[in-house]
Amino acid sequence: MLGWFAFMWLSPGPAPYHYRLVEEGGIDKFSKLGLDAWPDLGISKQEIRVEGVDEPVAVAYLARRGNSKPVMLAWENYIGDPLIFVDSKLSELTLLAPVIAKHVPKGAAILAWWDTSRQIQLLTGLETVFTSHLSGPVITPSLWRPRIEAIEKYEREFWGSTVSAEERGKFQRFADALSAESTEGVAMLRELTDGREAYIVVHVSDLYKLGQMRPDRIGVAYKDFPLKGGDVHGLSAMVKRWQLDNNYTSQTVYGLSESLVRAYYLTDAKSNNTLLAQMLPRRPRSLSNSKPSRWSINREPIGCIRFRLRSHRITDSLSGRSGRAPIVNLARSR
């Protein structure tokens, strides 16, 4: 694997990977994905292949309705480090979408990272501020950086992405808002939604993506930890020790699988005060000696956060748990 990375580093050229169609069909062909509520979707399974590597480095499930452009539904990375997309689980999305469809009124603005926005739009039919495949930030191994332009071009072509300057500018403003202090960030989000009633959906992995886009405003690190035999106590100790050893200020965890957990860390106090950090469940260092029972692995960490944009207040931040749909706060704006 190291030789492969070195080869890619020494050989600038086309994108070092490609999507390969493995299987496609209706939801009946992909019954294990749990998409029975959306019988009109067409699904395709894609392997992400790299020249010189026998096995796929990732697997993706794409969905579309009719002749529309494909939407990424789930991504499973096989090489450890984030690659192109951050790992995601379809079970989170299928729990969240019906809750949003039931409780978010038509005409309200929904803000989320562009990939989550497209998923929500596909599965709920509701309006999202971002509708295009924006392909940012481009997540690659550092040794692929010489090919970044080729990767961006390949991604645009594969996804059929045509993005207006207006939408791209709005997304940059969205990233600015999430990486700003809370009061300033909420005011910026209000501008993006033209004063309409607004909901924002965030995922713990948005921390990593935002850190890639705005590293000068929010410092984010991560490390994967094994979860052996469901030993949450042991996991808690490892995560906290890594936090203390690196002098990080807070952390949150995300279950990649039944045996692997990813911890995202905020690296300094300034990062802790950003709007996105304030919206997500975190464990500050002051809780490092708390009882293990305070720990929980958020297996369904997508949450809906309702903003009272007019009063600059965040009303709630709720994260779903394993086997339960996330809860949405529906307090009326005043």
**42 with 100, same domain?**
yes
**195 with 225, same domain?**
no
For 250, how many CA atoms within 13 A lie in the half-sphere containing its CB? 18
What pLDDT does residue 143 have?
A: 85
What pLDDT does residue 297 have?
A: 24
Q: Is residue 229 assigned to a domain?
A: yes
Band the pLDDT of 80: cuts 50, 70, 90.
confident
Percentage above 90 pLDDT, the chain: 56
**227 with 192, same domain?**
no
Q: 198 or 219: which carries more pLDDT confidence?
A: 219
Task: Enter the pTM of the model.
Answer: 0.83
pLDDT digits (tens, 9 = 90+) for 15-47: 999 999 999 999 999 999 999 999 999 999 999
Percentage above 70 pLDDT, the chain: 81
**40 with 115, same domain?**
yes
Considering 119-123, 191-195, 321-325, the range whose residues carry the highest mean pLDDT is 119-123
Q: Is residue 322 assigned to a domain?
A: no
**69 with 134, same domain?**
yes
**Does 258 score more than 90 pLDDT?**
no
**Does 58 score more than 80 pLDDT?**
yes
**188 with 246, same domain?**
no
**171 with 123, same domain?**
yes
Q: Is residue 323 assigned to a domain?
A: no
Using H for helix, E for strand and C for coil, what is the string for the chain?
CHHHHHHHHHCCCCCCEEEEEEEEEEHHHHHHHCCCCCCCEEEEEEEEEECCCCCCCEEEEEEEECCCCCEEEEEEECCCCCEEECCECHHHHHHHHHHHHHHCCCCCEEEECHHHHHHHHHHHCCCECCCCCCCCCCECCHHHHHHHHHHHHHHHHHHCCCCCHHHHHHHHHHHHHHCCEHHHHHHHHHHHCCCCCEEEEECCCHHHHHHHHCCCCCCEEEEEEECCCCCHHHHHHHHHHHHHHHCCCEEEEEECCCCEEEEEEECCHHHHCEHHHHHCCCEEHHHCCCCHHHCCCECECCEEEEEECCCCEECCCCCECCCCCCCCCCCCCC
pLDDT digits (tens, 9 = 90+) for 286-311: 323 232 222 222 223 344 444 433 32
**155 with 303, same domain?**
yes
Q: Is residue 279 assigned to a domain?
A: yes
**24 with 145, same domain?**
yes
Q: Please, which residues bridge with residue 277 across strands?
A: none
The closest alpha carbon to 172, from 119, 110, 113, 86, belongs to 113
**131 with 161, same domain?**
yes
For range 117-124, the mean pLDDT:
96
For 259, how many CA atoms within 13 A lie in the half-sphere containing its CB? 2
Q: 91 or 7: which carries more pLDDT confidence?
A: 91
Query: Looking at the 3D structure of the chain, how many domains does it have?
Result: 2
Q: Is residue 39 assigned to a domain?
A: yes
Q: What is the dihedral of CA 156, 161, 162, 166, to 10 degrees?
A: -100
Q: Which tokens belong to 326?
A: 């996330």
Q: Is residue 75 assigned to a domain?
A: yes
Q: 110 with 126: CB under 8 angstroms?
A: yes
The verdict on whether omega for the bond into residue 56 sits within 30 degrees of 0, i.e. cis, is no
**163 with 182, same domain?**
yes
The identity of residue 131, as a single letter, is: T
**182 with 45, same domain?**
yes
What pLDDT does residue 7 have?
A: 54
What pLDDT does residue 55 have?
A: 95
What pLDDT does residue 280 have?
A: 82
Residue 31: give the domain boundaries: 2-204+299-314
pLDDT digits (tens, 9 = 90+) for 179-194: 999 889 988 998 998 8
**Does 219 score more than 90 pLDDT?**
yes
pLDDT digits (tens, 9 = 90+) for 125-135: 999 999 999 98
Q: Is residue 43 assigned to a domain?
A: yes
pLDDT digits (tens, 9 = 90+) for 147-173: 999 999 999 999 998 899 999 999 999
Q: Is residue 331 assigned to a domain?
A: no
Residue-averaged pLDDT of the chain: 81
